Amino acid sequence: MFSGSETAFISDLQQALPHLEEDRQVRLERWGTGTGFTHDFRSLSNYFRNASFRRDIPSVKLSPLKTGGIVLAHMQRSIGLLSLTFVAISGILGSGWLFAPLMAAQAAGPSSLIAWMIGGFAMLLLAATFAEIAAILPVAGGIGRVPHFSHGSVVSMTMGWTAWVGYNTTATIEVEAVLRYSKSLAPWLYGSDGLLSPAGLAVACVLLAVFTVLNAFGVRFFARLNTALTWVKILVPAGLAAVILTSEFRYANFSEYGGFAPEGLKGILSAISTGGVIFALIGFRHVIDMAGEARNPKVNVPLALVISLVVCLLIYGGLQLAFLGALDQSQLKQGWAALSFPGELGPMAALATAVGALWIVSILDSSARISSFASALVSVGSNARLGLAMAQNGLFPKFMETLSARGVPLFALLINFVVSALFFFILPFNEVLALNTSSIVLSFVVGPVAVLAFRQLMADAPRAFVLPAAPVTGCLAFVVASLIIYWSGWDTMLHLGVCLVIGFLLMIYRNSRGGFDSLDWREAAWLAPYLAGLVLISWLGSFGGGAGYLPVGPDIAVVSALAVAVYILAVRLRLRQDKFDLYMAEEKADERMEYGDGA
């Protein structure tokens, strides 16, 4: 009746059953048919993760399982170094390179070059912390899953939730970017108010559905398609920067029209958070979420993170320099803040036209759609893995863990499609952009904390990449991430606060039946003062609608002091070793189910 692996599995159950309470006895005789066996195995595997079951049975080995003729879907570790690097590059070189040079210049003028340096340094710091973590703990949906092993359920649910909200806004932003660059071909996509028309909203939802379907074909298909598209995304912006730099460059732009930093330090900091710099660079996160499907993740994940950020920083720096130098006097006579390109062409295509490089404009037009298309494709795929991680954490329903025959979290894809589509209707584009940056960066703060926690919890684990001077580097990364969140402004913090409240209520609801004792509240004690402090300082500050009581300069010192104090507390509040070992044992059991015998 049963295969050898099923017999071994049932033997494990028979050894475990005497330890269970009578009202939770499992009737093995129900498992005599193929589909029923599959259904009940999934129900029981969820039961294995239940806290009360873990108290009854400290250790249960799960044998590899295949049903009669029906193979449970496995995730596929099939993404190599090139594909993994291109996943990150595709996320970074999305619509950001089309608009970020203009937005950064409007906020900071020529000093936007400094904004890119600071933003790049910040992202490299954060990426370095995750590079060490992903090398020792390569899990699908890493942004939402890693905190579970360092600080437990509440922290992982909070960080995963904010990242999930941010990821869904990314898909919305990139789809709208595709439509904006298609406006010249289909003007009916937008109304007279500049917003998507009803027909445009319908097309946007259809595009989201297309990205969902493409991701459903599996990670190999996704990786191959993205790699092909990313070659275009690298060559076109790099070529554009070279063409503009060699065609026209006005050195006077860097000293006249208000000087090098017309808005001072505040302008530079605003360019980082709301001027498109961080929005462009946070695309590296997709590597962390795809780490569970990477070949040789201990080596390939750190390499992909570093290579992608360095390559993209060079491209963005070249584009910003070319943009600043190519502007003529008529465009700057009203100052940098008033700089605009009101025509159908985007800012980069308009500059290419102005310097006489007409041959590249048509290429830019097509490349703009390809860039945004590929970034939306990556974002949808990455967010599905995050949805899977959130189901594993317990915040989302267990059915979102279900994998298709191609190893894709299909239900997570579908739920994300609905949520991303809703953002077209509930928030204007600029607010979606600000919410995207602040929510994703908030989820990043766990990286610097977790890297030190794992130095204690996984002290003997071999590390392909070791973060140098980790206590200092990690603390600096935490401070920088906190500043970026603060610089996004009070208005954005309000939206982020609403999202956090919704996530907290969902967590309470999801755990109302099973009780709250196992939610690792002690390990999450640093979150309340951290979030409350950021909200208060944002209201006192002068960014994004703040009251202006705290001027630029002193506010940096206040945020930094808060971040350092919370960082020290958060590192000390890591999981206890026995709880960490328990969570890792569960993860190993899940890996055998998700990846098969080769896990």
Structural domain that includes position 24 = 4-72
pLDDT, position 24: 37
Asked if residue 107 and residue 68 are part of one domain, the reply reads: no
pLDDT, position 56: 37
Examine residue 251 and state whether it is found in any structural domain, yes or no.
Answer: yes
Arithmetic mean of pLDDT, 176-200: 83
The helix/strand count (H/E) of the chain reads as 24, 0
**Could you give the CA distance from residue 222 to residue 215 in angstroms, rounded to a whole number?**
6
Asked if residue 152 and residue 241 are part of one domain, the reply reads: yes
- Residue 364: φ, ψ to 5°: -60, -40
What's the structural domain count of the chain? 2
Task: Label residue 515 by pLDDT band (50, 70, 90).
Answer: low
The SS3 assignment for 183 reads coil
CATH number at residue 140: 1.20.1740.10
Examine residue 42 and state whether it is found in any structural domain, yes or no.
Answer: yes
Type of residue at 208 = L
**Could you give the CA distance from residue 482 to residue 470 in angstroms, rounded to a whole number?**
18
Asked if residue 176 and residue 60 are part of one domain, the reply reads: no
Q: What is the mean pLDDT of the chain?
A: 76
Asked if residue 361 and residue 300 are part of one domain, the reply reads: yes
The SS3 assignment for 262 reads coil
**Could you give the CA distance from residue 323 to residue 116 in angstroms, rounded to a whole number?**
13
Examine residue 296 and state whether it is found in any structural domain, yes or no.
Answer: yes
pTM: 0.73
Type of residue at 176 = E
- Boundary of a domain, candidates 44, 72, 100: 72
- Residue 548: φ, ψ to 5°: 85, 10
Asked if residue 94 and residue 59 are part of one domain, the reply reads: no
290's CB contacts (< 8 A; 6+ apart) are 79, 84, 87, 140, 219, 381, 382, 385
- Boundary of a domain, candidates 464, 499, 522: 464
Query: Using one digit for the tens of pLDDT, what is the confidence trace for 532-549?
Result: 999 999 999 888 788 889
pLDDT, position 313: 92
Examine residue 592 and state whether it is found in any structural domain, yes or no.
Answer: no
Examine residue 481 and state whether it is found in any structural domain, yes or no.
Answer: no
Asked if residue 396 and residue 354 are part of one domain, the reply reads: yes
Examine residue 337 and state whether it is found in any structural domain, yes or no.
Answer: yes
Type of residue at 370 = I
Highest mean pLDDT: which of 83-92, 220-229, 394-403? 83-92
Examine residue 587 and state whether it is found in any structural domain, yes or no.
Answer: no
Q: What 8-state DSSP symbol labels residue 402? A: -
Asked if residue 122 and residue 50 are part of one domain, the reply reads: no
Asked if residue 53 and residue 157 are part of one domain, the reply reads: no
Q: Is 115 exposed, middle or buried (0-12, 13-18, 19+ CB in 10 A)?
A: buried
CB burial readout 176-214, b (16+ within 10 A) else e: bbbbbbbeeeeeebbeeeeebeeebbebbbebbeebbeb
Q: What 8-state DSSP symbol labels residue 247? A: H
CA 561 to chain centre: 26
Query: Using one digit for the tens of pLDDT, what is the confidence trace for 145-174?
Result: 788 888 888 888 888 888 888 888 888 888
Token pair of 171, please? 């898909």
| Strand partners of residue 535 | none
**Could you give the CA distance from residue 268 to residue 555 in angstroms, rounded to a whole number?**
15
Query: Using one digit for the tens of pLDDT, what is the confidence trace for 354-366?
Result: 777 777 777 777 7
Examine residue 285 and state whether it is found in any structural domain, yes or no.
Answer: yes
DSSP string, 32-53: GSHHHHHHHHHHHHHHHTSHHH
Asked if residue 247 and residue 227 are part of one domain, the reply reads: yes
Task: Label residue 343 by pLDDT band (50, 70, 90).
Answer: low
Asked if residue 420 and residue 307 are part of one domain, the reply reads: yes
| Strand partners of residue 294 | 79
Asked if residue 20 and residue 120 are part of one domain, the reply reads: no
- Boundary of a domain, candidates 72, 96, 117: 72
Q: What 8-state DSSP symbol labels residue 576? A: P
Asked if residue 267 and residue 237 are part of one domain, the reply reads: yes
Contact indicator for 289, 141 with CB cutoff of 8 Å: yes
In terms of Cα–Cα distance, which of 551, 561, 543 is closest to 487? Answer: 543
| Distance linking the first and last C-alpha atoms of the chain | 27
**Could you give the CA distance from residue 151 to residue 570 in angstroms, rounded to a whole number?**
8
pLDDT, position 590: 62
